[in-house]
Structure 1
Amino acid sequence: MIIRLSDCPLQPWKNGLGSTREIAVHPACAGIDDFMWRVSIAEVDSAAPFSSFPGIDRQIALLDGNGFTMTLDDDRAHSLTTPFTPFAFAGEAKVAVTLVDGPTRDFNLMVRRARAQGELQCRDTPGSHRLAPDIVLVHCARGTVDTSEGQLHAGDAWLPGGTSITLAVGAVVLVVRITALS
């Protein structure tokens, strides 16, 4: 199933201090308190702190803009300034943000750590790529990507209904892998 970013309504962050677009959630129609995994794209236009998500493992990657510095639990800093490079952190961490220069958009993967493990990967090699069975979502971050259900453009996502994708020259995808825990 192809998901167009324009079809995902803007909604407030859990703490109400920013906005996001939920791209996909599992199980379908799960809420903020009962998802196994969730993918969203956040609009970060101020130095607002991130929402707290106890029990959730998070991964984030810069999509657009010059990025920001995250200060986690008042002592560990990470600069999220290189596009498409995932950074993992605990959802219960206290995260303060300092924008580098203007607003940004970032890709977010959240996984309930008691139920699953998740991984966010960046792929940018042109050509055909086989998808492992644990890949639950492909996000086109730049360029175009062909799938068995149609073409993705920057901002689009795909819940795989096939076994491969083809990246055009210059395309970048973020791939979400999920492994359920027994």
Structure 2
Amino acid sequence: MHLLKHRDHRKMPWKNGGGVTYEVAAAPDGAALDAFDWRVSMAQVAAPGPFSAFPGCDRILTVLSGGPMTLRVGDAPARMLDDASTPFAFAADVPCAAETVDTALLDLNVMVRRGRATASVTRHRGVNLRISPRETSTTFVLVKGGTAAINCLPTLMQDGDVLKLAPSDPPVTISPGAEAVLYEIRVTTAQGH
């Protein structure tokens, strides 16, 4: 179990140079943008424009704050995303662009390379979250908009902090403050990777 403080997330330019992203974790650790098996990051989107393409990858995008944003992926109808929208999964190698951005937003991006990993993202509001690590998964819990207490650690999670749980870690309960929203991210690595 490891608490990743928001100030320690690795700041990197977007692959297409259009903005800044904050990498929370990737596998292998420190992998280049064309070599990760999976990657968890947050990005600021301040204006309309294209998203970076990641050949052979799938992405789950979740708006954490700000927005809304109208997103178009390939030839599909545009989707409006905000901080109440269901996390949106799509192929990261299909052309994608933010067509409108009402106010600057922060989003969560979870990307996996097809055949090497799968992922899920679930938003939890106003409930204590009990996490039981799974044998083949790495689990992350991001807190946004407030603080959260972890039953087995003396430190409070602050806005933007992420708790990382390995498969061997014991179950944990995370209790959010009144304004906090918890985001549960599970990344499952394919056998042999």
TM-score of the superposed pair, with normalisation by structure 1: 0.90
Aligned residues: 182
Structure 2 SS opposite 1:76 = coil
The residue correspondences of 1:160-175 to structure 2 (distance < 5 A) are 160=165, 161-170=169-178, 171-175=180-184
Q: CA deviation at 1:35?
A: 1.3
From the superposition, tell whether residues 128 and 70 of structure 1 become closer, same or farther in structure 2 (CA, over 3 Å).
closer
- Select between 153-162 and 87-96 the one with higher mean Cα deviation: 153-162
Name the residue aligned to 1:137.
140
**CA 1:70/1:178 → structure 2, altered by over 3 Å: closer, same or farther?**
same
The answer to whether the Cα contact below 8 Å between 1:63 and 1:107 also exists between their aligned partners in 2 is yes
Structure 1 residue 47: Cα displacement: 1.1
Partner residue in 1 for 2:28: 27
Is contact 1:63–1:84 with CA below 8 Å preserved after alignment?
no
Q: 1:111-150 counterparts in 2 under 5 A?
A: 111-127=112-128, 129-133=130-134, 134-147=137-150, 148-149=152-153, 150=155
> How much does 1:10 deviate?
2.8
| Cα shift readout 1:93-123 (whole Å, capped 9, x = no counterpart) | 1111123422111011001111111111112
Cα distance in 2, alignment partners of residues 80 and 172 from structure 1: 17
Deviation (angstroms), 1:178: 1.7
Q: Deviations over 1:110-166 (max 9, x none)?
A: 011111111111122433513232342111123222223432111110112542122
- Structure 2 residue aligned with 1:110: 111
Amino acid at match of 1:57: D
| Cα distance between partner residues in 2 of 1:158 and 1:151 | 11
Task: State the alpha-carbon separation in 2 of the partners of residues 138 and 62 from structure 1.
Answer: 15
Point out where structure 2 has 5 or more consecutive residues left out of the alignment.
none
Unaligned runs of at least 5 residues, structure 1: none
- In terms of mean alpha carbon deviation, does 123-132 or 136-145 score higher? 123-132
**1:11 equivalenced with 2:12 (yes/no):** yes
Q: Are 2:133 and 2:170, in contact at CA under 8 Å, matched by a contact in 1?
A: no
Q: Does 39-48 or 169-178 show the bigger shift?
A: 169-178
Q: Give runs of ≥4 in structure 1 deviating > 3 Å.
A: none
Indicate if the aligned counterparts of 1:126 and 1:169 stay in contact, CA closer than 8 A. no
